[in-house]
Amino acid sequence: METAPVKIAKYALIALIALGGGAAIYKSGYWRDAAPSGKAVAQQGPGGARAALVRIEKSAESTFVDTVQAVGTTRARRTIDVVPMVAGRVEAISFAAGDRVEAGAALVRLDDRTQQANLRESRVGLDEARNAYERSLSLSGQNFTTKASLEQARSAFERAKSAVDRAEEELSDRAIKAPFAGVIGMAKVDHGARIDSDTVIAPLDDLAEVEVEFQIPEIFFTRVTAGQAVTARSDAFDAREFAGSVTAIDSRINPASRAFSVRATIANPDLALRAGMFMHIALVLDTRLSVSVPEEAIVTENSETYVYLVADNKAVRRQVTLGKRLDGAVEVVSGVNAGEDVISSGVQNVDDGGAVQIIESEERRPEQRPRTG
């Protein structure tokens, strides 16, 4: 049961609040402002300094990347249509579409029975010519043969060697081989078909690296140089990125499109990319470390942009110049140094020079992953 003095004090407090138009509410030893301004502030005890409730984060150095976006189509570093050296009938096909083949791998074999017979015959002739030449050499050493006879035997031996070489070459031409390592396409011939030297066997692409050519607006002409980093994405591979670099820049600007051509080489170690794929390209123009602050810390009023820092438990208004945005953070070109306490939540409740009470402090990582684009 409340005593008379306690009741009198309670009624006096209620009357005082009523006379003040509900300007303050007393709770657990603190006064919380309830003014129409809507600013949430705390005051330590009657007559104490008001303090706005805020959260802070430290400004940090983050990596910012300037990129320009483009689209292009892949093409193989080397690409050919495999054709035979000679005409003949297809005896065997040793590949399937999409196979990775090594340089020198047999792709198609033509009927070679005649060439095999010619090679055997030429080797027999070579053996005979060799034996005849060796006999002539022996006789010449004993002065039992003339110099002319020895020369004829030597010439016959050389012709026989050439005949074997020719027969071996003709036999080799019956096996159609890959001139370089790559990915073979669909066969254009069938087993048993007769083909000639103009018949396309299959396309062959060297895909260890792929090239992409794309157009860049002329305003970036002075900022693009050979060796700059490029990332490429294909809709066929979801979020996977392929890394590459600029290898060539056209010397002319297209007067119709006001753009210039750039060629980049993209690494393709697992041969995932194929020729003719549509690619989204991000060309990195510049990478830099800059001070960043949370996006929610930025206040724009009329033509001014500023943030609030915290010093000696007071809000300090600081005008800033902003750069790029990056995953919830904003680049600060000038106005804030790395490591300063920036009010990230509750900025609407503070005034320049006003007291603040930090209710939570959050540490930011020194670097954040840049978002290209």
Nearest to 320 by CA among 341, 297, 350, 339: 297
CATH no. for residue 60? 2.40.420.20
Give the model's confidence band at 297: pLDDT under 50 very low, under 70 low, under 90 confident, else very high: very high
Q: What is the pLDDT of residues 243-268, one digit of tens each?
A: 999 999 999 999 999 999 999 999 99
**44 within domain boundaries:** no
DSSP state of 134: H
Rounded CA separation 67/245 (Å)? 13
Name the residue with tokens 């959260």.
55
338 plus 270 within the same structural domain: no
In a domain, 102, yes or no: yes
**What is the CATH number for 136?**
1.10.287.470
Q: What are the tokens at 205?
A: 């692409």
Domain annotation covers residue 138: yes
Mean residue pLDDT of the chain comes to: 84
CB-count exposure of residue 204 (10 Å: 0-12, 13-18, 19+): buried
CATH number at residue 254: 2.40.30.170
Between the CA of residue 352 and those of 308, 310, 348, 367, what are the distances in Å? 8, 10, 11, 29
- Note whether 188 and 90 are same-domain residues: yes
Residue 373 lies in a domain: no
Percent of the chain with pLDDT over 90: 66
Residue 298 sits in the same domain as residue 323: yes
- Please report the pLDDT score of residue 46 as a whole number: 41
**Residues 356 and 342 sit within 8 Å (Cβ to Cβ):** no
Which range marks the domain in which residue 96 is found? 84-106+179-200
pLDDT value at 290 more than 80: yes
Residue range 11-34: mean pLDDT, rounded: 36
What is the token pair recorded at 29? 């030893």
Whether residues 183 and 213 fall in one domain: no
Residues 297, 342 within the same domain: yes
| β-strand partners of 48 | none
Q: Are residues 299 and 355 in the same domain?
A: yes
- Does some domain include residue 276? yes
Strand partners, 93: 108
Residue tagged 């943030």 (tokens): 307
Percent of the chain's residues with pLDDT above 70: 83
Q: State whether 243 and 313 are in the same domain.
A: no
Q: Do the domain assignments include residue 161?
A: yes
Domain membership of residue 371 (yes or no) is no
Domain membership flag for residue 368 = no
The closest alpha carbon to 306, from 268, 370, 253, 350, belongs to 350
Separation of alpha carbons 221 and 146, rounded Å: 80
Q: Give the residue, 368 or 283, on which the prediction is more confident.
A: 283
Alpha helices in 84-225 (DSSP H): 113-141, 147-172
- At 279, give phi and psi (nearest 5°): -125, 145
Answer for the pair 126, 161: CB distance below 8 angstroms, yes or no. yes
Angle at 195 between CA 191 and CA 201, to 5 degrees: 70
Q: Return the DSSP state at 159.
A: H
Q: What is the pTM of this model?
A: 0.62
- In the DSSP assignment, the letter for residue 164 is H
Two structure tokens written together for 171: 């036999």
Average confidence (pLDDT) over 208-216: 96
**Residue range 91-106: mean pLDDT, rounded:** 95
In this structure, the answer to whether residues 256 and 154 fall within a common structural domain is no
The answer, yes or no, to whether residue 28 has pLDDT greater than 80, is no
Structure token digits, residue 89: 């009938």
pLDDT value, residue 256: 96
- Three-class SS state of 10: helix
Choice among 19-33, 83-97, 291-305 with the minimum mean pLDDT: 19-33
pLDDT band at 21 (very low <50, low <70, confident <90, very high): very low
Same domain, 88 and 236: no
Structure-token pair, residue 349: 């409740």
Q: Report the distance separating Cα 214 and Cα 62, nearest Å.
A: 30
The answer on 72 and 60 residing in a single domain is no
Q: Are residues 148 and 241 in the same domain?
A: no
Total domains in the chain come to 5
Do 187 and 102 lie in one domain? The reply is: yes
- DSSP letter for 158, please: H
Binning pLDDT at 50, 70 and 90, where does residue 360 land? Answer: low
